[in-house]
Structure 1
């Protein structure tokens, strides 16, 4: 029988800063139709929104408008959307969007671990320097987001074997975890512990936050096979039952020089009762409740969740504990990237772990990657030796673990990548086959060590109300580079960020950008845009 893991026990109090999916499960046997947010604008003079909606099946109005516009906002299924668009009383229906606050904020967790006291980190300067490390997030997947540097996707959920270039985040948990560890320092949203580090998204949990032991083992098997290109793994999930296979898989990855960071769990019990938190060589992380980003016990959580009764600078009341805990980190009301393109706010040891994951990435960035188990344990020892003591352990387990502290620039001095680092010798190309130094790429042309190969990523945004889309190739590289665009409809452009209006001809387009760095080496990235006509032409990206 497959053993299940649930992140509901590892992430609590899901409060979206925009609109984030909750962690609740659908009642057994009852299908749940997916709903998206829309704004419905009615023709002036027609009946009130509440009266109007009563004539349509099960429409849940979230807000009504009567001054600036006449209408309402609601969560709609596809059938409800189509029904409303046909109603003669409706002027138009528009998909709800996401707004972003101007500028960038330092989240409380990053402040509490003293990132701002480390001048080598340059946290908050907005220059988008990216830590030269690769972090694998084993979770619900990681969504495409302008504030993340996602370079690889692997799906190990509900498949016989892990599938590359697949596995989106249909929950939100994994995208929040990724942002805590590595959100870019680019004057947008928030900042991660290891800003801009490369993210490999490995989906092991489904849209209900559940996954099996075999799925996690499959993901760890993929990581170990690619250990030369994965520096740190984050696992924010807990498993029960017979977990010997998880222990063996984690230890094999560690033996290959991969640092494995795991959440302690949210059952307020000894972490030894849960895997992988009970694996000695994994770095197990408990959660600190901190409401203001500084010591002293004076912070509160009203800004996040009025029902949060945790005390500032104490062990979170949900956190597991015990002698197997290696280190504590902030895990209560942690703000980071959301799967809808905006930002989210989660609590749990799931959020504490990626702080440590980012810190480990700082230590081993550049050429300092461990080669074996001894090197991994040396990273753990550095994290613990540099921890702080100014917090209150309320677990009464007799062992007070150090609180993560990254202010020491001699230890936490990151190597920064020059743009998005190209695949290294031996790293899989898009065909999935390793390329030895000087070996052929899929095109058959040999490459030198460090030559860019394959495809990168484009951030694409379309507003669903016109045929105009925005494209951003910032993830491909940095300054002194050129970007040449071909939109697939005969039009071309240059620049790192461009806007293009597709012709009225409907269909699917494949915009591409060719990035050329200052040494003349190139990387090509592609997107997919579909243009359709439902009560007017519009385009969307996927």
Structure 2
């Protein structure tokens, strides 16, 4: 490839003033990516539009905002694959009461988190929460939040301007004590990765950079309470690399009431796909369900931290996902070194069975159950299913 011609083409076709699309550019080899990024730094003064391009070392890709690019030209002339940068949304079905008293939420009690605290509190387990940021001033989160990153405005801290990320952080690791709220793993560390704006919207490229940051900063767990309907090869490749780096990726399955469905990235085989249950122990009406789900967790009327030092109840598989991330943090603090595959098997084996028929049709005689932190740490439970679960070695469907 002629690197100068390629960068000149990008400079000419990157439109920084209009929404003509965003693209993720992947190369035929790691060497080609290295040459291009080295040349990119040299040519930015000559080609000013190149300042708008971000890079992902983990994916080995260029992320081009608002580019009027022609994928066919890129493929035929330069051998570069251009993937449309698709939008992604956080997965909360609804928000309920705004002002609630503090205390131990029902979901924390339901999964037996407080019973597990005599064994593990998630001490020093690092969790990257790719979301809308977090409220660093909330009294229940002050000792739970650690350094993060703002991908939308790199010069600013990852402060939450939506509320969703703060809610997720609270369920995972709030540590307000008797005067506040307690999360599943109150001594875990939340690293907020702000990839979503105040409307709860992001692009695949923002998620890619968020996962990239989590790998570089050696997170143990990545919480992804968001989803999209279309498959992204770039996102799949990035999630797989995080999985291969030993990071547990936990993702929301979606709120579409589908009997055999899951959003991406939960649908990828390298994630733990989470559905939601209600107070009655049955699958929540809004939750996706079926064989694409690995585990269920409380996701209906879940109370957690909110902006302005308050609390809010929310519905969604987002809320369920944060319970699972917290439970995994408890496990990893007790059993460091467990692989993502081992953790998924253990989650399924120790899950609390759902009421008969609640999970719908399944390819296995052991349909997924509801997470139990206390059983997870003990390691007992049902025999792990031999078939029907997503297999990391295979292809996603």
Counterpart position of 1:109: 107
**Aligned mate of 1:147, from 137, 140, 153:** 140
State how far apart, in whole Å, the 1-side matches of 2:151 and 2:320 are.
24
Kept in 1, the 8 Å contact 2:122–2:329? The answer is no
Aligned counterpart, 1:317 = 285
Partners in 2 of 1:392 and 1:180 — Cα distance?
28
Distance (Å, rounded) in 2 between the aligned partners of 1:403 and 1:335: 18
Contact 1:4/1:240, CA 8 A, preserved across alignment: no
Q: Does 1:131 align with 2:123?
A: yes
Residue number in structure 1 paired with 2:29? none
Give 1:210-229 correspondences, 5 Å limit. Answer: 210-227=201-218
Q: CA deviation at 1:410?
A: 4.7
Seen in structure 2, the aligned counterparts of structure 1 residues 393 and 116 have a Cα distance that, compared at 3 Å, is farther
In structure 2, the residue matched to 1:203 is 194
What SS class does the counterpart of residue 380 from structure 1 fall into?
helix
The DSSP-based 3-state class of the residue aligned with 1:131 is coil
CA distance in 1, matches of 2:85, 2:122: 39
- The 1:321–1:167 alpha-carbon spacing in structure 2 relative to 1, beyond 3 Å, is same
Deviations 1:371-418 (A, max 9, x none): xxxx11111111111111143554533363111011238548xxxxxx
- 1:408 aligns to 2:375 (yes or no): yes
1:251 to 240, 261, 283: 240
Aligned positions of 1:29-428 closer than 5 A: 101=101, 105-118=103-116, 120-121=118-119, 131-144=123-136, 145-148=138-141, 149-157=144-152, 163=154, 166-227=157-218, 230-269=219-258, 272=261, 274-290=263-279, 312-365=280-333, 368-370=336-338, 375-391=339-355, 393-394=357-358, 396-398=360-362, 400-408=367-375, 410-411=377-378
Alpha-carbon distance in 1 for matches of 2:187, 2:161: 22
1:6 aligns with 2:6: no
Aligned pairs for 1:474-493 (under 5 A) are none
Give the conservation status (yes or no) of the 8 Å contact 1:284–1:325.
yes
Which one scores higher on RCO, CA 8 angstroms, separation ≥ 6? Answer: 2
Report the Cα offset of residue 270 of structure 1.
5.4
- Cα distance 1:121–1:271, how it changes in 2: closer, same or farther (>3 A)? farther
User: In the TM superposition, what is the alpha-carbon distance from 1:138 to its structure 2 partner?
Assistant: 0.5
Structure ranking higher in helix proportion = 2
Q: Deviations over 1:185-209 (max 9, x none)?
A: 5113221110131110001111111
Larger Rg: 1
Distance 1:395 1:407 in 2: 22
Q: Is the 8 A contact 1:184 1:195 kept in 2?
A: yes
C-alpha deviations, 1:500-524, integer Å up to 9, x for none? xxxxxxxxxxxxxxxxxxxxxxxxx
Once the two structures are superposed, what CA deviation does each residue of 1:416-437 show, in whole Å capped at 9, x if it has no partner? xxxxxxxxxxxxxxxxxxxxxx
In structure 1, C-alpha distance between the alignment counterparts of 2:355 and 2:165, rounded to whole Å: 28
Normalising by structure 2, what TM-score?
0.68
Native 8 Å contact 1:264 1:271 kept in 2: no
Residue of structure 1 equivalent to 2:98 = 17
Q: Structure 1 pair 252/409, CA: closer, same or farther in 2 (3 Å)?
A: closer
For structure 1, which runs of at least 5 residues remain unmatched after alignment? 19-99, 123-128, 291-311, 413-542
Partners of 1:409 and 1:378 in 2: CA distance:
12
The 4+ residue runs of structure 1 with deviation greater than 6 A are none
Q: How far 1:165 moved relative to its partner? A: 5.5
What's the offset of the Cα at 1:244? 1.0
Does structure 1 retain, via aligned residues, the 8 Å contact 2:250–2:324?
Answer: yes
Question: CA distance change for structure 1 residues 368 and 348 in 2, over 3 Å: closer, same or farther?
Answer: same
Gaps of 5+ in 2: 1-83, 380-397
Structure 1 residue 164, shift from structure 2 partner? 6.8
8 Å CA contact 1:156–1:215 kept in 2: the answer is yes
- Determine the C-alpha separation between the residues in 1 that align with 2:327 and 2:198: 28
Distance, in Å, in 2 between the alignment partners of 1:362 and 1:119 is 8
- Measure the CA separation in 2 of the matches of 1:243 and 1:395: 28
Structure 1 length-normalised TM: 0.50
Distance 1:156 1:366, change over 3 A: farther
